[in-house]
Amino acid sequence: MKTAAETGHVQFDPWQSLRKITAARIALGRSGGSLPTREVLEFRLAHALARDAVLSPFDAEALAGDMRAPGVEVLVAESAARDRSEFLQRPDFGRRLAPASRALLVERSASLPPVDLAIIVSDGLSTLAAMTQAAPLLAELLALLREEGDWKLAPIVVARHARVALQDEVGDIFRAKISLLLLGERPGLGNADSLGAYFTFAPAIGRADAERNCVSNIRPGGLAPAEAARKLHSLLSESRRLGRSGIALKDEHLLLPSAAKAKALEK
C-alpha cells in the first residue's frame, strides 16, 4: 500500500478551522510523516521575506521626501555603523551618531529653543517596516499634535542603521523633553513589516531600557498606524504631563473605536 506522501494525500489537522483567526503557523496537516509541500514552500517564502526585510537597502532620502510637508523639516543622518553589515555585527555602532551627523544636528539645534519632542525614524531591523509604516503613522501623529497646538517639535531625523538608544543622543542634542524613535522591528516568520515606536522622557546618553516605553507591531495586520498614532499621542501627552516614562508610566489608553464594541466585549 502506498503512503500518504506517495499518493499526494494530505491529512488535515482537526483544528484546521482555527487558521481563519490567526496568522500563526498552526494546524499544518501532514503528508505521510512530512509537512505538506504547500506548507514547506510557504515557510521558505516567509523566511525569505524576513531576510529581505533585514538586508534590503534603506533609501533614507526617499523616506525623508515622503515625510516632508508644509511646516515639517526633515534631516537625514547616519549612525556610526558605516553599512548594513557593520550595523548587524556591531549593535553598539547603531546607538551613536556618526561624527559628521552629530555635527549637523548640533549646528541645527543651536538656532532652536528647547523642544517638547524629537522624532527619529530608522530602518532598524526591517527596512520594509520603515519604508511602509513610518510615513502613515507620522502623518496621523503630527495631525493629533497640531490639534493640541502647544507641542514644540525638533526637525524630524531620518537615521540610517540606528538602534533604539540613538534616540537618547538625538533627543539630548535638541534639548527635547521627549524623544520618539520609529524603528523597523526584527521580522518574524509571520510578518516582516512591523514597526516599533520607542519614547523616553528626558533623553540623554546612557538611559536604560526600563526608562523607555514601546508600542510595537505597528502594521496593517497588527496595530494599524492610525490606532498606533492615537495610542502614542495619549502616552506622549501623559509622559509630558507627568514628567516620566518607562516603568514609571502606565498605559491606560483603551483602543476601543466605539461604545458598541465596548458593550460587545462585556457580553
Per-residue pLDDT tens digits for 91-109 = 999 999 999 999 999 999 9
Asked, for residue 172, whether it belongs to a domain, the answer is yes
Domain that holds residue 126: 55-248
User: pLDDT band for position 10 (50/70/90)?
Assistant: confident
- Contact between residue 29 and residue 12 where contact means Cβ atoms under 8 Å apart: yes
Asked, for residue 253, whether it belongs to a domain, the answer is no
Q: Report the share of the chain in percent with pLDDT over 70.
A: 91
Going by C-alpha positions, the residue among 183, 205, 197 that lies closest to residue 92 is 205
Which CATH number covers residue 157?
Answer: 3.40.50.11240
- Contact between residue 174 and residue 154 where contact means Cβ atoms under 8 Å apart: yes
Lowest-confidence pick of 20-34, 168-182, 238-252: 20-34
Cα–Cα distances in angstroms (integers) from residue 78 to residues 91, 105, 108, 118, 155, in the given order: 14, 11, 15, 16, 15
Give dist(CA 194, CA 128) in Å, integer: 8
Angle between helix 127-148 and helix 225-242 axes, rounded to 10 deg: 60
Angle between helix 166-173 and helix 99-109 axes, rounded to 10 deg: 30
pLDDT higher than threshold 70 for residue 259: no
User: pLDDT band for position 7 (50/70/90)?
Assistant: very low
Secondary structure letter of residue 83 according to DSSP: S
Asked, for residue 145, whether it belongs to a domain, the answer is yes
How high is the pLDDT of residue 85? Answer: 93
C-alpha cell at 267: 457580553
CA 86 to chain centre: 21
State how many domains the chain has: 1
Which comes out higher in pLDDT, residue 170 or 260?
A: 170
Asked, for residue 180, whether it belongs to a domain, the answer is yes
Asked, for residue 66, whether it belongs to a domain, the answer is yes
Render pLDDT for 113-154 as a digit per residue (tens, 0 to 9): 999 999 999 999 999 999 999 999 999 999 999 998 899 999
Asked, for residue 9, whether it belongs to a domain, the answer is no
pLDDT higher than threshold 50 for residue 267: no
- Contact between residue 135 and residue 55 where contact means Cβ atoms under 8 Å apart: no
The per-residue pLDDT of the chain, averaged, comes to: 89
How high is the pLDDT of residue 25? Answer: 77
Asked, for residue 203, whether it belongs to a domain, the answer is yes
Which comes out higher in pLDDT, residue 79 or 7?
A: 79
The total number of residues written for the chain in this structure? 267
| Angle at alpha carbon of residue 188, lines to 30 and 126, rounded to 5° | 150
Asked, for residue 187, whether it belongs to a domain, the answer is yes
Q: Report the share of the chain in percent with pLDDT over 90.
A: 66
Which comes out higher in pLDDT, residue 191 or 211?
A: 211
